[in-house]
Amino acid sequence: MANTTTSNPVMIKTSSGGIWQGDNPLSYAFPLLIIQTLLVLFTSRSLTLLLKPLRQPKVIAEILGGILLGPSAIGRNQNFVKWIFPSWSTPILESVASIGLLFFLFLVGVELDLSSIRRSGRKAFTIALAGISLPFIFSVGVTVLIRQAIKGQEKVGFAQCLAFMGVSFSITAFPVLARILAELKLLTTHVGETAIAAAAFNDIAAWILLAFAEALSEGNEGHSNNNKTLSLVPIWVLVSGVVFVAFMMLAVRPLMSWVSKKYSSKQQKSMDEVYILLTLGGVMASGFMTDLIGIHSIFGAFIFGLTIPEGSVFAGRLIERIEDFVTGLLLPLYFASSGLKTDVTKIRGVESWALLVLVITTSCVGKILGTFVVAMLCMIPARDSIVLGVLMNTKGLVELIVLNIGKEKKVLTDEMFAILVMMALVTTFMTTPTIMAIYKSKSPPDISTRTQSSPNLKVTKEKKTQMRILACIHGPASLPSLFNLMNLLNHSPIKLYIMHLVELTDRSSSIMMVRRSRKNGFPLVSRLCRRGPTLHEYPNQTAAACEAYSLVHSQVTVRHTTAVSGLSSMHEDILHVAQAKRVSMIILPFMEVSGNGWGGVNQRVLKTAPCSVGMFVDRSFDLRSECNDQLHVAPATNSSNASEPTTTISSRMKKVCVLFCGGPDDRQALELAGRMAHHEHVIVTVMRCYHEHDHERYSCTISIVNEDKPEKELDEAALNELKRRKSAEVELTEKVVDNDIIETVRSIVNNMEYDLVIVGKGHFPLNQTFVDDQAELGPIGGALTSAQHEIACSVLVVQHHAAPLLLPNEDGIVMV
């Protein structure tokens, strides 16, 4: 440290003495790194927001942000480069970025499910093989032409140049592809599932090809060894790489499986941090070993990630610990460092731009044509085959890694590097608009407007009494209360579709959820874990609970699926399933935490739903009491059998109250109460509310048509029908309310200690204002669940649709 005889002595100093001592912080390593990081994050996030309307993946914005800061744009200003990105700071920035890249590739390895790749079948493997082979063959001709056309490229060996060109042409970016599929609602289609499986195969092949290309490039850097030794370097690198992979799979993988089981068992809680730290240290050690071999350190981190048991509690906890810091802060630095090396101005003259067009065209044609032909041979329709080809043409981070390694090994010149980076940008950018254009004439039916006929009327004679319900949940914690609610309706057969709603974010754990989702039925079912669930365990816990419930309740058929989408388009998934399954009611969970975005999802569903909608406000409906033979799925304890679902049996009567003020929504609530009244352990109380003026009674709510004579007659008819059919099971009382309707209703509910209150949504009480943050509940529902006057019981707020629910009468005829 005492020797400071360098060209720039300040580059070895970490921090400054401060402006009061006359130091410029930008002349010191750490303050400058902070400024660089802030600038990179601001640029990439700003571009992400700008490109969001175009539905472009985040990687596009990050690559563009790096190019924008580099010599292609802002970096052409010498003062900017001198103060913000001086040459002496480049190794520091790249070192920090490389740490982020190391751990990101570890996460990719953790999330790559090798067992699912083995199960993907011959079709996906054949499509992936064709998508790799044809572009690689096409790259041979392009390599020959480029070595002649680009100055300096001819000095590179043909094999080395071909290896990097072929890999860059053949790669498919799996994480970027998964996000595009989710954004375009293609994830659970046959095309999406095939593309995901083929991309997983491609991901493995890309790493093998990258290791091969890097091994070939080892003899290209001009080390001072004799030629004979240099000619053997690629062979030794390949052999060492194979030995490393074999050691990791045969020795380290069993060890990490043991660590994962120990971590999940919770027998030694004090060792949890030790297991995590040892694993993170293993990432660094693996990276060092592959760098020692002569392969990039990220290859070692990726292989080490494959040794972690996929889908385990341990894997989920590792991802939760490091993904936000790595993907949100460190990874953008890698894109920035790549952009700083990309000088688009090197592509000058007609010949260079023609080469760029040739590279882009050849890459697209090779990938799309190879995939299309094989997909057609696999009996996939022509339109879907083209879409598969476009999807498999997606590039991303791995492409940049390949190009950066090629530049470091002096296989790619500055001009060639810029051309290939632009190729990756263009091919990825074109994916979303191209697929949208292809499917434009094949868009799903419009579900944005309400229909006047309910799909539940189109039923067969055999299933006249079957009620179809789509229930949405945010996680397995919502299931016990939902199952209790279904028990109250379980008088005749019910077909229950449970949709687990998962917000698609920039977290890599969302991609894990994406890959576990299925079009129909259950994902892979595993035993319930011995602790509270993490995001990664939700599909398994939800599926296990649904399966156990359907086994206990023979009259309820349960189907479970997962919807992974952005909040702005989540309602489209819900409405699509509701229309496709012809459900008669959608049940949505009400999130009592304001400002989380889910309220907007609920309001969009309420506005455009093709059937009736119920907003369920859960106040521990499962814990207050359990109906007879109720399956109660509870968080497991530390007992030996805690991993299994438990069944709680209780015969305590449940008390259900219907607040009936009149109008279509309240009549819908009355129909639900009539169905619940069939249950032997349910007491239903219908509280009819009136205004009294001059000894005459008036409806206490006002809607658009509530004062019309036909509406009043429908209210009376509904009440009379309920009294005729359910006189023994339903208690009907009348309540005269004053002008403060909300306070009167709230006092009624609190005094009687009900388990569940059902109320209609769409009425506007006299002298009452609307609660904005609880708009989806309506005025009465919002008042009953407000934080200021919170009641103890659960609330179901019902919005009526044009057609009624399927409610069997004594003759088994559906009420219309």
- Residues 34-92: pLDDT tens digits? 999 999 999 999 998 898 888 888 888 888 998 999 898 898 888 898 899 998 888 89
Residue matched to tokens 């998962």 = 502
Rounded CA separation 391/384 (Å)? 10
CA-CA distance, 291 to 298, in Å (whole number)? 9
Vertex 199: Cα angle to 240 and 144 (nearest 5): 65
- Report the C-alpha gap between 61 and 425 in whole angstroms: 10
DSSP 61-76: HHHHHHHHHTTTTGGG
Using DSSP bridges, classify how beta strands 646-647 and 682-693 pair: parallel, antiparallel or unpaired: unpaired
d(CA 410, CA 222): 10
Q: 3-state DSSP call for residue 633?
A: coil
Answer for the pair 181, 376: CB distance below 8 angstroms, yes or no: no
CA–CA distance, 396 with 408 (Å, rounded to integer): 19
C-alpha atoms less than 13 angstroms from C-alpha of 234 in its C-beta half-sphere: 17
Torsional class of 588: left (φ above 0), alpha (ψ -120 to 50), beta (otherwise): beta
**pTM assigned to the model:** 0.71
The pLDDT assigned to 537 comes to 44
- Rounded distance between C-alpha atoms, residue 32 and residue 16, angstroms: 10
Q: What is the pLDDT of residues 581-633, one digit of tens each?
A: 889 899 998 876 655 678 888 888 988 888 999 999 887 665 444 433 444 44
Give the least confident one: 169-173, 324-328, 783-787.
783-787
pLDDT band at 806 (very low <50, low <70, confident <90, very high): very low
With cut-offs at 50, 70 and 90, classify the pLDDT of residue 120: low
The tens digit of pLDDT for each residue in 458-479 reads 334 444 457 899 999 887 778 8
Inter-residue contact 401 to 298 (CB < 8 Å): yes
3-state secondary structure of 121: helix
Q: Is 47:65 a contact under the CB 8 Å cutoff?
A: yes
Select from 425, 426, 406 the least CA-distant residue to 416.
406
**What is the rounded CA–CA span in Å between residue 519 and residue 540?**
15
Give whole-number Cα distances, 411 to 95, 231, 237, 314, 417, in Å.
21, 16, 17, 40, 9
Going 13 to 17 to 18 to 24, the CA torsion angle's sign is: negative
- pLDDT band at residue 365 under the 50/70/90 scheme: very high
The better pLDDT of the pair 39, 220 is held by: 39
Q: Answer for the pair 234, 215: CB distance below 8 angstroms, yes or no.
A: yes
Within 10 A of 416 (CB to CB), how many other CB atoms are there? 27
For residue 635, name the pLDDT band (cuts at 50, 70, 90).
very low
Q: pLDDT confidence of 530, banded at 50, 70, 90? A: very low
Residue with more model confidence, 492 or 737 = 492
